Homo-oligomer: A and B are copies of this chain.
Amino acid sequence: MKTLGLLGEPGHYGLATDLYELTMAAAYFEAGMQEVSATFNMFVRHLPRGRGYLLTAGLEQAVEYLQGLRFDGPSIDYLRALPHFAAVSAGFWEYLRDFRFTGDVEAIPEGTVAFANEPLVQVRGPLIEAQMVETFLLATINHQTLIATKAARVVDAAAGKGVIEFGARRAHGFDAAVYGARAAVIGGCVGTSNVLAGQSFGIPVYGTAAHSFTMAFEHEREAFHAFHRAFPDHSIMLVDTYDTLEGTRRAAELGPSLRGVRLDSGDLIALSREARRILDEAGLPQAIIVASGDLNEEAVERATREAAPIDLYGVGTEMITSKDAPALGGVYKLVAVDAGGKHRPVRKLSPEKATYPDAKQLFRERGTDGRFAGDTLALQSEPLTGEPLLTPILAGGRLVAPLPALPEIQVRARAERDGLPFGVRRLHDPEPYPVRISGRIQELMAQMHPQD
């Protein structure tokens, strides 16, 4: 049985969810609530440890899911055969067979900085539909936003030197590697080692050779010559298989067509200086130095501070898993219900898990220096100043406008990061960014009572 690439068939999207989305759907259906509408907000309650902001990513794949969401025959047969659904009426299975997502979606565009409690995505539509899409939206946007946010930190630490995403082998499976590479590029990486991500998203791909390549030959020099014959203008030689500086000297023998060397172990800062000297003395000032090997934003920042002559950083495990904060706790909460002609804002009351009620808009203001000065979370109808960040994406399940291509998102993300106050952007102990709750939301909350 084929078990890889299960999402290759949109007919499978229907089951790409937690069971409770489907039990709730059946219970709503059986209660005759097909006409009830609802609004949900996706947001994070707290920024991940050490982060001053989020960089949003994943919307394109979330939209692809929403537009492709179907239940194929085998999916419906599978559900019908589960003991849970034994008492559910035939009408529900007909409903699923014809299921399409017909709701409205607004979102903060990909590559935008965002903060705790801000709706990254707002979904309105029939209650059953709007509830159903929770799990997949969360999985997709939590993941890519997590990696884009981490990548932005590494890219900032590199202070203008290029960062390449190198983490496929340590990602949470190869799919996580592909979408993680996409997110890393939104975070500012200049490329990836991941070829499928390169092909699928038009990302520049980078690659040299492994230590095994050098070891497959009896002598390092032989290996270098073989690689150089195949890639006369694209040879970046991995030089640390036996002795980094000896390897660098051998690579330099290849002459002016040598593109550069890669250092993958040892004291990368000290070795980069030695390697630079060797390359320069060999008359190869154009040959670049790539550094890799367990790098993260701290290691890259140290190299930047010490002005190590490293031209490109290859960052793997730490970035593709956001290792120091490997999960984004995005949640998807009901904020309003429309039933029987009545609009009812709702909110969860438990103190640590409070949510702000009703459909929203988010306004961002800039200070006189052009940087972001603060956001206000408002009701959708409130006429506040500032840039409204929640943008229509789907109306009645249809795309309102084409989604931006990845290079466009990357450009936006760079401008967004440059718009952050310095203290919010910094890597360590970032300052909190002001997010105000509008007067109207506060009034609404004061009027609301626990329901039971």
Q: Which residues of A contact B (CB under 8 A)?
A: 1-9, 12, 15-24, 26-31, 33, 36, 38, 40, 60-61, 64-65, 68, 74-75, 78-79, 82-88, 127, 131, 134-136, 138-140, 142-144, 146-147, 166, 168-180, 193-196, 198-201, 205-213, 215-216, 218-221, 226-227, 229-234, 240-243, 246, 265-266, 317, 321-323, 326-330, 332-334, 337, 344, 346, 348-350, 352-353, 450-452
Partner of A8, one of B6, B27, B29, B174: B6
Q: Kindly state the separation between the CA atoms of A210 and B329 in the bound complex, as whole angstroms.
A: 16
In the bound complex, residues from chain B placing their C-beta under 8 Å from that of A209 are: 20, 23-24, 27
What are 7 sample pairs from A and B whose C-beta atoms fall under 8 A apart?
A: A2-B64, A6-B8, A6-B175, A26-B231, A78-B198, A135-B169, A143-B171
In the bound complex, residues from chain B placing their C-beta under 8 Å from that of A19 are: 193-195, 198, 205-207
| B195 in contact with A22 (CB, 8 Å) | yes
Chain B proximity of A47: nearest CB distance (Å):
15
In the bound complex, residues from chain B placing their C-beta under 8 Å from that of A5 are: 5-9, 12
Additional 20 contacts, C-beta under 8 A, given A139-B171, A171-B172, A243-B452: A4-B64, A5-B6, A15-B195, A17-B195, A19-B206, A19-B207, A22-B195, A24-B210, A26-B230, A84-B234, A86-B233, A87-B231, A142-B170, A176-B176, A218-B344, A218-B451, A219-B451, A219-B452, A317-B329, A323-B327
Q: How many copies does the complex hold?
A: 2
In the bound complex, residues from chain B placing their C-beta under 8 Å from that of A337 are: 215-216
| A333 in contact with B170 (CB, 8 Å) | no
Chain A, interface SS category: helix
| B172 in contact with A180 (CB, 8 Å) | yes
A31-B226, A143-B171, A265-B353 known; A213-B24 Cβ under 8 A: yes
A15-B195, A15-B196 known; A84-B231 Cβ under 8 A: yes
Q: Kindly state the separation between the CA atoms of A168 and B169 in the bound complex, as whole angstroms.
A: 21
Partner of A40, one of B16, B140, B212: B212
In the bound complex, residues from chain B placing their C-beta under 8 Å from that of A8 are: 4-9
Q: Kindly state the separation between the CA atoms of A412 and B240 in the bound complex, as whole angstroms.
A: 41
A4-B68, A135-B169 known; A215-B346 Cβ under 8 A: yes
Can you name the residue of chain B whose Cβ is closest to the Cβ of A352?
Answer: B265
